[in-house]
Structure 1
Amino acid sequence: MLQQQRRRAREIALQLLYALDIRNDQTPDEAMALFPFDGESEEVMNYAIWLVKEIWGKRVEIDNLIRMHITGWRPERMVTVDLEAIRLALFEGVYSKVVPIPVAISEAIELAKRFGTENSGRFVNGVLGKIVRSIAEVEGDGKDVEGNASA
């Protein structure tokens, strides 16, 4: 059951992040006030709200991580749904570590397939795979996710 609740919360978070990205005059609280949470469980709502606030607050940091590891695809050039799915996976799997990275990637791919374009699933998989491999190489060099030397 928890898996289904988390998946639903991610769907809501993706939609809210999309709305925030295309309407840059809106705050997360304003976007959430407009979202029809009718019939959603408290757990789903709470997790979705947490995801939106955290990801939106860290979006510059997450986008810099994308820029650092992906050449030729700046976040601002990505399809918005794809970008939000990538941000979601990076937040859940890399920054907050609330889910294992393979789970975060799998969930992002499914979201991209459901809400994105015909090629979104493959694109999101490729971008996240490249970033995760790059992070693993960097961490193997004694550096953290952002390229700083670790103690």
Structure 2
Amino acid sequence: MTLLRRRATRERVLQTLYAYELSQEPISSVLENVLGDFHSDQQSLEFAKRLIQEVISHQPEIERLIKAKVAHWEYNRIAVIDKLLLQMGICEFLYFPDIPPKVTINESIEVAKTFSTENSGKFINGILDAVLDELKKTDSLRKTGRGLLNGNPHSKSAPPASPEEPSDDQ
């Protein structure tokens, strides 16, 4: 799946989660309404549906991780779009072992630039970085294959990504 298709898919996931959050309709109804006209390849559609389901089913755990990193902010005052992007990013860290964390963070920032406020990219970058560090420290990050693009996430001494590394198409 190309980078642009994956980004468009993440954008559609964000739109779906936002509609679900605001409408409180059953997710099946929201999926049909928002993804019904999503003309993409089967792999993109499966990724979208899986990311949506993982975010919803692990929301309490994911929110706990976010709240621990935004202790000096009122969680309820964080923009809904920013919360959803954080939830999506953390979900990718935890439940999508083949997606490198660097790609998840970069994509979250790029989607925030399109759908959220001017400062959201920096905010999302900081929170996702902090959560990623915590997941590494607690050995909770399980990356395989392409997810290991930036070194072994299980090792606290993983080498930093070099600027010469080929870009990932996730």
TM-score, normalization by structure 1:
0.81
Q: Which one has a larger percent helix, Structure 1 or Structure 2?
A: 1
How many Å separate the matches in 1 of 2:61 and 2:136? 18
Q: Relative to 1, partners in 2 of residues 1:75 and 1:40: Cα closer, same or farther, differing over 3 Å? A: farther
- Structure 2: where are the runs of 5+ without partners? 142-170
Give the deviation of 1:38 after TM superposition.
Answer: 4.6
Q: How does 1:108-119 map to 2 (within 5 A)?
A: 108-119=108-119
2:96 corresponds to: 96
1:31 corresponds to: 30
Q: How does 1:1-151 map to 2 (within 5 A)?
A: 1-24=1-24, 26-35=25-34, 36-139=36-139, 144=140
TM-score, normalization by structure 2:
0.73
Query: Over aligned residue pairs, what C-alpha RMSD do you find?
Result: 1.9
How many Å separate the matches in 2 of 1:121 and 1:91? 18
How many Å separate the matches in 2 of 1:75 and 1:14? 19
How many Å separate the matches in 1 of 2:112 and 2:122? 9
- Structure 1: where are the runs of 5+ without partners? 146-151
Letter in 1 for 2:102: P
Letter in 2 for 1:12: R
How many Å separate the matches in 1 of 2:132 and 2:38? 36
The one-character-per-residue Cα deviations of 1:80-107 (angstroms, maximum 9, x if unpaired) are: 1111111111111233323111111111
How many Å separate the matches in 2 of 1:76 and 1:132? 22
Spell out structure 1 runs of 4+ moving beyond 6 A: none
Give the deviation of 1:29 after TM superposition.
Answer: 0.9
How many Å separate the matches in 2 of 1:96 and 1:74? 29
How many Å separate the matches in 2 of 1:95 and 1:39? 25
Letter in 2 for 1:32: L
Give percent identity, aligned residues only: 29
Give the deviation of 1:133 after TM superposition.
Answer: 2.2
Q: Relative to 1, partners in 2 of residues 1:74 and 1:66: Cα closer, same or farther, differing over 3 Å? A: farther
How many Å separate the matches in 2 of 1:123 and 1:52? 22
